[in-house]
Amino acid sequence: MLKKISLLFCMFFMFSNLLYSQEYTTIKDIPYRNQSDPLFNDTLCRLDLYYPKDKKDFATVIWYHGGGLGGGSKEIPIELCEKGYAIAAIGYRLVPNVKVIDCIDDAAAAAAWVKNHIKEYRGNDKLIFVSGFSAGGYLSYMITMDKSHLAKYSIDPDTSFVATLAYSGQAITHFARRRELEMKDTQPLIDELSPLYHVRPDCIPMLIMTGDREIELLGRYEENAYLYRMFKLTGHKDVNIKEFDGFDHGEMQKPGHYISLKYMNERVKNFTQIADK
């Protein structure tokens, strides 16, 4: 349990901003699908890339927004800015105009674009984290746990990304998919569009985060706790879960960013130390 964390992450953000005084730039509305692709949506199949201008070999965070797969838009979390990282803020097609499987496919196509193109901006293509909030957490799970989605784009998530950082992602089949099947939100389902269906010991490292179980969305902590337990039972060696006491679904992003930055900083430090040997 993480208690009294508000003051800690406020102090962390204040002092970490002093450490990174580089200039950053943002390129908006980059299409991540070929514009002749019949799946391309001119408004939604685009990403914004925020990155340090005068740095090379920086790490990148792929960020999927929340909104229940039916709302929201690409966003760059302010708490992750000016910390030495690039952020690829992903837009994707939304239900009910498309099916949930199409949202997942967009997420995979965007992640593949980042993997294939981040070196053009002087980033390190071996230092990419996959992350997102709520529906974005679900998409992060799906494309890194079910390898078939990225295989379509000739990407292996197990060798292409450092870790998955999921902020209150749905671990059972997403409620938008259950609505497609005319199921109630209170009727759980674990099928091939559920992260839990794809638990395996050789997934990339997982950082699982939720708000307080008593004020989170319906069962969100419990399904993520079950996901964590199944990872442990299958023998996954690098999975962590954090529950933020006193933070509801929307509020949990703030301590989540604090924990994510500490987690990523340590991974990047370890990678750099190994590379320098």
Using only C-alpha atoms, what is the Rg of the chain? 18
pLDDT (0 to 100) of residue 19: 47
194-238 per-position pLDDT tens digit: 999 999 999 999 999 999 999 999 999 999 999 999 999 999 999
Mean of pLDDT over the chain: 93
79-122 per-position pLDDT tens digit: 999 999 999 999 999 999 999 999 999 999 999 999 999 999 99
Q: What is the CATH number of domain 5-276?
A: 3.40.50.1820
**CB 212, CB 245: distance < 8 Å:** yes
* Residue 4's pLDDT band (cuts 50, 70, 90): very low
The share of the chain scoring above pLDDT 90, in percent, equals: 90
Residue 258 has pLDDT above 50, yes or no: yes
Question: pTM of the prediction?
Answer: 0.92
* Residue 18's pLDDT band (cuts 50, 70, 90): very low
Nearest Cα to 181, choosing from 47, 190, 212? 190
Residue 3 has pLDDT above 50, yes or no: no
Nearest Cα to 137, choosing from 82, 219, 68? 68
User: 43: Cβ–Cβ under 8 A, 6 or more apart, which residues?
Assistant: 91
- Between strands 46-52 and 24-31, the pairing is antiparallel
CA geometry: angle 76, 82, 203, nearest 5 deg: 60
pLDDT (0 to 100) of residue 7: 53
pLDDT (0 to 100) of residue 9: 54
Nearest Cα to 207, choosing from 276, 136, 260, 148? 260
User: What amino acid is encoded at 35 in this protein?
Assistant: Q
